[in-house]
Structures are given as structure tokens and as C-alpha cells.
Amino acid sequence: MNEDKHEIQDLEIDYVKLAADEETVRTKFSDKIKTTIGKIPFTTDALSAYYCAIDPKTSMKAKALLMGALAYFILPADIIPDVFAGVGFTDDAAVLIAVLKTLGDNIKETHKAKASEFLRQDN
């Protein structure tokens, strides 16, 4: 068994934090993604993570990690503030990529297809 997969099995879910992260993502993700299209190289990854997080087939533990990473991306108060051009999203990308690496198999082709469709519609 992969070490990352073992770690997710041992994950304790903080349901209060998950609810707060879900609310942040539900109310602010769409605006954040629309304002960052073309400015960040991980837009498709963020959208794929979003579609996985809202998929009822996604495990609660995977959903908790995804919602936490997406909420971190959305909220302006993080390690490197997003207003710093060129480096502001570096920490957001690192958090998201780490979660996606850990959850790899949870992101399905349907999630990626929905992300691609969103980007086609927006352009």
C-alpha cells in the first residue's frame, strides 16, 4: 500500500472545519476561479478538485482534504498573499498539488472532463 493512501485512511475528519470549508468553496469558488483563469497554471487541477469534492461518490476523507485545499486557494490570508504577482499563488499550487498527489485515484476522468468543459464555456 502506498504511504499516502495509508495516511488518508488514518485521517480524522474535523466536521466543523469541513463544513466551514464547504461553505467557503460553495460561496466563493466560482468567483475565484473566474478571476484567476489565464493567470494561474493550475486552473484545470483546481476545477477537477472542485468537481471531485462535490461528487457524492467521493469519500468523506477525500472530500475533506479537497475542500481544505480549495478553501486555502480561495481565502486571501495565506502564506504568500495572492496579490504578489508571479509568486502569490505558489503556496496555493503547492497545497493543491500535494492533495491531488495524495488522492490521485479519486480524481476521475469525469471530473477532468467537467473542468475542461467549464474552461471551454468560459472562453
Whether residue 78 is predicted with pLDDT greater than 90 in this model: the reply is no
Q: What is the pLDDT of residues 48-58, one digit of tens each?
A: 999 999 999 99
Contact 106, 61 (CB under 8 A): no
Q: What does the pLDDT average to over 101-123?
A: 90
Q: What does the pLDDT average to over 98-118?
A: 93
Domain boundaries, the chain: 3-122
Instruction: Give the CA angle between residues 72, 73, 79 to the nearest 5°.
Output: 65
Mean of the per-residue pLDDT values of the chain: 84
Contact 30, 36 (CB under 8 A): no
Burial of 38 (C-beta count, 10 Å sphere; 0-12/13-18/19+)? exposed
What grid cell was written down for 2? 502506498
Q: What is the pTM of this model?
A: 0.81
Contact 9, 59 (CB under 8 A): no
The residue among 38, 42, 24 whose CA lies nearest residue 95 is 42
Supply the pLDDT for residue 113.
97
Q: What percent of the chain is modeled with pLDDT above 70?
A: 80
Q: What does the pLDDT average to over 107-123?
A: 90
